[in-house]
Amino acid sequence: MSEKLNPWESQLTNLKKVSDIMNLDPSVYEVVSKPMRILQVSLPIRMDDGSIKSFEGFRIHHNTARGPCKGGIRYFPSLELDTEKALGAWMTWKNAVVNLPYGGAKGGINCDPKKLSQGELERLTRAYAAAIADFVGIDLDIPAPDVGTTSQIMAWFADEYYKISRRILPGVITAKPIGLGGSLGRTAATGRGCYFTAVEASRTYDIPIKGASVSVQGYGNAAYYSALNFHQAGAKLVAASDTRGGVYNKNGIDPVKLVEHKAKTRSVVGFPGCETFSSTDPLTVDCDILVPAALENMITLENVDDVKAKLIVEAANGPTTPGADRVLDEKRIICLPDILANAGGVTVSYFEWVQNRMGYYWTEEEVDQRLEKVMKTAFKDVYDYSKKYDVNLRYGAYALALDRVAEAMRLRGWI
């Protein structure tokens, strides 16, 4: 079996099914099934060797019914427009699920940041900020990091924007360094949010976290902090991976020592005491909790029959295809969907934006308490919608988000 859906089509498949289940007016799907704006830019950069190389960049606004757009900037070597469109739409639904006053956006540059020097990365970032400066703003579109970008890249972006606008507006971008108005707790927020939703699911579905075995695909920021929180709660990390491969130890892996090993070697591969396997093998190892934290379309009809977890917590965006979702339902595997589970990052980005705007900053404990409350409330809302329409949690999350976005569009006279 195979699935040929790209991420945009995958997102539309879920969207159409849920809008039909809810018996929504067709005008709702008509509006949200198309991005509102797409900006494509060419970025000529002088490389360190003196040559000129032109990079392709995008910024996409999916929907602004509930407020200004919010979404990440991705630096990735095979960036595609349909993927960026899907990621922008997922941000619309994610922001609505956790009830943030935002619409959805996404963007990025087609490049391999691992092959660029610091100087090249800075010049590329500043060129991108200048090219999309009229497309972003504190009340229009607030970017943040995504795959391949960092707080330092956000700092360069902010500085270039300040120069162009001739105003210092820290809220124009989030997940900045603390010294430039970043929020305490933002670095760990996505993984922390995954953990909070998993705690609520463990209580609802009787899947204990203490003593559970956890497998994580990917070992970036979201994956590491997810693994760390599960480890601190008494669970056992048994597998993890990155683009170069994966590691497995049924007796457990220390997540802190593993991230230290990756920092030194640039990969989890070779961590002492572990078997080495492929980047995708963590998806199918014997475990209680699976955290896909890499890229889109990782759990598919090709491998879903081999998934053994009782609970899946989607730290990545769109890691499960619609076809695989149906199989997970048949296998009675609980899946916490991306637009719920990984919303901790954008939630604390919202907190950062709020703090920037009021010029007053919260402690890390205050941020964490607010995040936990948001994620717990969102889980309950999604669960209630899943029961209301007799659907799984993914469709429950889409139903909740569609309801909120449709209400905003009705109130504004769009539909």
Instruction: Give, rounded to a whole angstrom, the gap between the first and last alpha carbons of the chain.
Output: 39
Tokens 């209630």 correspond to what residue? 384
Q: 352-376 burial string, b = 16+ CB within 10 Å, else e?
A: bbebbeeeebbeeeebbebbbebbe
CB distance 185 to 368 below 8 Å: yes
Got the DSSP string for 310-336? SEEE--SSS-B-HHHHHHHHHTT-EEE
Which residue among the candidates 70, 85, 94, 106 is catalytic per the annotation?
106
Please say if 17 is a catalytic residue: no
Give the CA distances from residue 219 to residues 18, 73, 101, 112, 319, in Å, rounded to whole numbers and listed in that order: 32, 19, 30, 18, 15
Query: What CA–CA distance (Å, rounded) separates 17 from 28?
Result: 13
Residue ranges in 22-141 assigned as alpha helix (H) = 26-32, 81-97, 118-131
Strand partners, 313: 336
Beta strands in 324-406 (DSSP E): 334-336
Query: What CA–CA distance (Å, rounded) separates 49 from 71?
Result: 33
Q: Give the number of other CB atoms < 10 A from CB of residue 53.
A: 14
DSSP code, position 268: S
CB distance 218 to 148 below 8 Å: no
Judged by DSSP in three states, 155 sits in: helix
Which residues are tagged catalytic? 106
